Amino acid sequence: MPMKLTLKIWRQAAPDVAGRLVDYTVEDVSPDMSFLEMLDSVNETLISRGQDAIQFDSDCREGICGMCSLVVNGVPHGPDRGTTVCQLHMRRFRDGDTITVEPWRARAFPVVKDLVVDRSAFDRIITAGGYISINCGGAPDGNAIPIPKDVAESAMDSAACIGCGACVAACKNASAHLFVSAKLSHLSLLPQGAPERDRRALAMIAQADAEGFGSCSNEGECEAVCPKEIPISNIARMTREYCAAVVAAGR
């Protein structure tokens, strides 16, 4: 059954101008459409009327790139757990619903236009230390290093972070701790990443602070909205690593 919906969508022409929620009534929405396909169809209508299309980010549309970044009815990525907004389908809503769509809200993620935010702060955190720079051989050498199964699985679970930023958007402190801790964990848990563990922890956390992300007060909102269900136990690991690095550096 096609649905009729009222959308309240954040429109903001540029970073330094005031934005506001604008109402759109949409009809004939198929329950089988993805949320982004529904927005595509709204944009086709706007463009056919000569109006400005709603800007929003997306790329893979299958939950792997981390580009989609919409707050749907107050929840980053919408109502389904472990799901990116590009994987959300309209059958999750009912005929006659009103749906509010907003961008990520955080000082470190300024709005570019409408629903698009600038997440380059995450890139700078990775640039600060989210890599292994020692010579650890090629892929065959890596495969030859015996790593306990539980350690390999923890590292792989942490590597599942797609850098979407929903954890920041959900946190009342706009903390990037879940993102940073996932990136730190997936490197430092493995033997190839261990030698640079201290430098990495100090550099990435310093960069996150410099970007204006807040601290962590253990609210757990980040874990609740994370589409990859990254656990907050990563944040505890990051804190241990950071403290050890501070002590080792004699700070």
Do residues 76 and 225 touch, judged by C-beta distance below 8 A? yes
CB of 38 to ligand FES, least distance (A): 14
Does residue number 68 form part of the binding site for ligand FES (CB under 6 A)?
A: yes
Do residues 81 and 224 touch, judged by C-beta distance below 8 A? yes
Does residue number 230 form part of the binding site for ligand SF4 (CB under 6 A)?
A: yes
d(CA 71, CA 110): 15
The CA–CA distances, whole Å, from 144 to 115, 136, 138, 173, 214 equal 45, 12, 10, 42, 40
Closest CA to 203 of 124, 128, 134: 128
CB of 164 to ligand FES, least distance (A): 7
CB of 165 to ligand SF4, least distance (A): 5
Does residue number 163 form part of the binding site for ligand SF4 (CB under 6 A)?
A: yes
Residue 238 binding partner per list ligand SF4, ligand FES, none, with a CB distance cut-off of 5 to 8 Å that depends on partner kind: none
Task: Find the helix or strand (DSSP H, E) in which 125 lies.
Answer: helix 120-129
- Total of chain residues touching ligand FES, rule CB under 6 A: 13
| Residues composing the chain | 251
Binding window for ligand FES (CB under 6 A); candidates: 56-64, 94-102, 108-116, 128-136: 56-64
| Per-residue binder mask for ligand FES (CB under 6 A), 171-210, x = binder | ----------------------------------------
Do residues 82 and 227 touch, judged by C-beta distance below 8 A? yes
CB of 166 to ligand SF4, least distance (A): 4
Residue 67 binding partner per list ligand FES, ligand SF4, none, with a CB distance cut-off of 5 to 8 Å that depends on partner kind: ligand FES
d(CA 122, CA 164): 9
Residue 178 binding partner per list ligand SF4, ligand FES, none, with a CB distance cut-off of 5 to 8 Å that depends on partner kind: ligand SF4
Does residue number 166 form part of the binding site for ligand FES (CB under 6 A)?
A: no
Write the single-letter amino acid at 185: S
Residue 65 binding partner per list ligand FES, ligand SF4, none, with a CB distance cut-off of 5 to 8 Å that depends on partner kind: ligand FES
The CA–CA distances, whole Å, from 197 to 33, 58, 82, 204 equal 44, 33, 29, 11
d(CA 80, CA 57): 19
Residue 161 binding partner per list ligand SF4, ligand FES, none, with a CB distance cut-off of 5 to 8 Å that depends on partner kind: ligand SF4
CB of 165 to ligand FES, least distance (A): 11
Does residue number 83 form part of the binding site for ligand FES (CB under 6 A)?
A: no
d(CA 120, CA 104): 13
- Contacts with ligand FES by CB under 6 A lie at 58-61, 63-68, 84, 86, 162
